[in-house]
């Protein structure tokens, strides 16, 4: 249970929240009268609004501080210490490397840590070591995982960032790459310094400006080409976003190919898990490409998904690609293929000058293991989407049933039913009375009665009907006086 002081500390004394420079709607403090009922109710509404802002902000909601605040028991492990232990063990067997400095919070993942490295006999050369725990989509056997991760260093492609060293064990993986002073595509868009914390760089940019049209076309084409290459190789990716694209001059190079092998969740999973037509890793890559293209074009991510209206863009061809991926119609019908995107006017006329021949040999047995792993990842995604869809339907039904309009309709219906039951009881009473008189007038055998005091009709049926009406009305108005004709004897 959280009280106001917990929220106040999170908002005002958290170093991570401070560097995000976001203005969050935390209710103000009140020293006098803070126990009044009206004030408490108003503060609860304000704190809920504060939580809504944090949990719907894509970067803040993935922040370790927010996750620990909302669910401290599930996020009590210190992954920095675990990472240091694994890295120390690694250096015992590979003494040629040493840590220059830890790179604190430069990524968005809680269970992935980064260190700036150097080679002892080449002190000027800088590298980045990343350590990551295994995720929920890890379906390769330990043996296949270790082999596949080691194989990544042999991959050669003009649009894949080179891996210097990679290794894995039964619980985590460690990868070393060259450090780039220029940073990632996201750093270019947000004009950020590569070593700064993720929240500081991307949470609240001072200046929002998209890239030039030629950059959008060239970078987009390069990224699509490498996605096509991976899809043809049967290698699952599913982790495309602008911070996973390194810039090397005017060339984009894909990062973190190991993520899918380790079973880590995608940066955009909270988006595509809502749409049941995005049910393959190829579809996931295309959807993520839509986010990336939007970010390159407008200098910021889309506010919501789906996007029905796009701001002015450098070219109508940009908008046509975005419409094929991010609109409600596209999400309802399914994603276009990478090959289809490459044929669209925005990318079809881009000339690629890089002559490096791609090389990535995957043995047949490992290919089969990767195929099974990919199918398992897609199956879990489909099951998650089904649960989200069922929850949405239930929420909509509850919201509809509890709306004021529906309550009014039920009250009107109850009144009509009550009147109808009363009328039917009256008609039944009249019919029985008429039958009784007819029987007496026709000389049929019956008890003698006085003309002025006819035999009263049975009231059992009438009371039964009134009772039924009463119980129905009480179910709608539980606060009504609890009286029933049947209880009067």
| Cα–Cα distance for residue pair 451/455, rounded to 1 Å | 9
DSSP one-letter code for 4: H
Return the pLDDT at 445: 44
Q: Which residue's entry shows tokens 């004009």? A: 191
| Cα–Cα distance for residue pair 431/235, rounded to 1 Å | 82
From 12-26, 48-62, 259-273, the region with the lowest mean pLDDT:
12-26
Return the pLDDT at 466: 43
pLDDT mean over 263-292: 96
Q: How confident is the model at residue 427 (pLDDT cuts 50, 70, 90)?
A: low
Query: 286 near 276, Cβ under 8 Å?
Result: no
Chain centroid offset of residue 313 CA: 27
pLDDT digits (tens, 9 = 90+) for 144-180: 999 999 999 999 999 999 999 999 999 999 999 999 9
pTM: predicted TM-score of the whole model, two decimal places: 0.78
Does residue 467 have a pLDDT over 60? no
pLDDT mean over 473-485: 43
Q: How confident is the model at residue 429 (pLDDT cuts 50, 70, 90)?
A: low
pLDDT mean over 13-22: 68
Taking each continuous run of H as one helix and of E as one strand, the counts in the chain are 20, 7
Cβ count near 355 (within 10 Å) = 6
Cβ count near 72 (within 10 Å) = 9
Per DSSP, what are the bridge partners of residue 167? 174
Does residue 251 have a pLDDT over 50? yes
Class of residue 82 by CB neighbours under 10 A (exposed 0-12, middle 13-18, buried 19+): middle
Return the pLDDT at 33: 62
Does residue 422 have a pLDDT over 90? no
pLDDT digits (tens, 9 = 90+) for 298-336: 999 998 999 999 999 999 999 999 999 999 999 999 999
Structure tokens belonging to residue 288: 């993520």
pLDDT mean over 369-383: 97
Cis before 89? omega within 30: no
pLDDT digits (tens, 9 = 90+) for 19-57: 777 778 888 777 666 677 888 888 889 888 888 888 888
Q: How confident is the model at residue 441 (pLDDT cuts 50, 70, 90)?
A: low
Most confident residue range from 71-85, 136-150, 381-395, 470-484:
136-150
The CA-atom distances, in angstroms, between 308 and each of 245, 302, 304, 330, 407 are: 27, 11, 9, 10, 33
Query: 469 near 418, Cβ under 8 Å?
Result: yes
Return the pLDDT at 448: 40
Mean pLDDT across the chain: 84
Q: How confident is the model at residue 456 (pLDDT cuts 50, 70, 90)?
A: very low
pLDDT mean over 137-146: 97
Does residue 247 have a pLDDT over 50? yes
Q: Which residue has the higher pLDDT, 202 or 33?
A: 202
First to last CA, the chain: 52
> Domain 79-390: which topology?
Transferase(Phosphotransferase); domain 1 (1.10.510)
| Cα–Cα distance for residue pair 72/85, rounded to 1 Å | 23
Ranges of each domain in the chain = 4-56, 79-390
Q: What is the DSSP string of 94-154?
A: -TTEEEEEEETT-SS-TTEEEEEEEETTEEEEEEEEEEEE--TT--S-HHHHHHHHHHGGG
Return the pLDDT at 253: 97
């Amino acid at each position: 249970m959280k009280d106001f002081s917990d929220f106040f500390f999170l908002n005002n004394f958290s170093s991570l929240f401070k560097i995000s420079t976001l203005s969050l709607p935390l209710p103000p403090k009140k020293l006098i009268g803070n126990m009044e009922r009206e004030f408490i109710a108003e503060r609860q509404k304000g704190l809920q609004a504060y939580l809504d802002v944090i949990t719907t902000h894509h970067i803040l909601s993935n922040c370790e501080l927010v996750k620990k605040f909302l669910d401290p028991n599930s996020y009590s492990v210190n992954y920095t210490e675990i990472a240091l232990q694994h890295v120390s063990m690694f250096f015992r067997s590979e003494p040629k490397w040493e840590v220059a400095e830890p790179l604190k919070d430069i990524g968005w993942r809680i269970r992935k840590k980064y260190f700036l490295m150097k080679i002892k006999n080449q002190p000027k050369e800088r590298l980045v070591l990343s350590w990551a725990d295994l995720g929920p989509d890890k379906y390769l056997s330990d043996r296949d995982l270790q082999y596949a991760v080691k194989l990544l260093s042999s991959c050669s492609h003009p649009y894949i960032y080179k891996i210097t060293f990679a290794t894995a064990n039964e619980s985590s993986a460690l990868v070393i790459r060259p450090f780039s002073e220029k940073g990632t595509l996201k750093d270019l868009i947000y004009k950020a310094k590569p070593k700064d914390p993720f929240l500081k760089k991307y949470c609240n940019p001072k200046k929002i400006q998209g890239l030039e049209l030629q950059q959008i076309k060239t970078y987009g084409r390069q990224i699509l080409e490498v996605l096509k290459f991976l899809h043809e190789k049967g290698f699952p990716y599913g982790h495309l976003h602008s911070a996973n694209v390194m810039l090397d001059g005017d060339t984009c190079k894909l990062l973190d190919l190991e993520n899918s092998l380790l079973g880590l969740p995608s940066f955009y999973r909270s988006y595509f898990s809502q749409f049941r037509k995005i049910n393959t890793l190829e579809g996931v890559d295309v959807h993520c490409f839509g986010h990336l293209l939007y970010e390159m074009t407008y200098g910021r991510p889309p506010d919501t998904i789906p996007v029905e209206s796009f701001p002015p863009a450098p070219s109508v061809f940009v908008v046509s690609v975005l419409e094929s991926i991010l609109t409600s119609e596209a999400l309802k019908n399914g994603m276009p293929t990478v090959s289809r995107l490459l044929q669209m006017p925005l990318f079809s006329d881009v000339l690629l000058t890089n002559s490096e021949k791609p090389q990535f040999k995957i043995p047949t047995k490992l290919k089969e293991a990767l195929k099974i792993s990919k199918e398992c990842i897609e199956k879990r995604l489909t099951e998650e989407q089904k649960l989200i869809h069922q929850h949405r339907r239930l929420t909509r039904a509850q919201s509809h049933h509890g709306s004021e309009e529906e309550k009014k309709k039920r009250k009107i219906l109850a009144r009509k039913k009550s009147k109808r039951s009363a009328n039917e009881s009256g008609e039944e009473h009249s019919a029985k009375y008429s039958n009784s008189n007819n029987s007496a007038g026709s000389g049929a055998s019956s008890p003698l009665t006085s003309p002025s005091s006819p035999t009263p009709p049975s009231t059992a049926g009438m009371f039964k009907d009134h009772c039924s009406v009463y119980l129905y009305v009480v179910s709608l108005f539980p606060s009504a006086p609890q009286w029933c004709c049947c209880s009067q004897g």
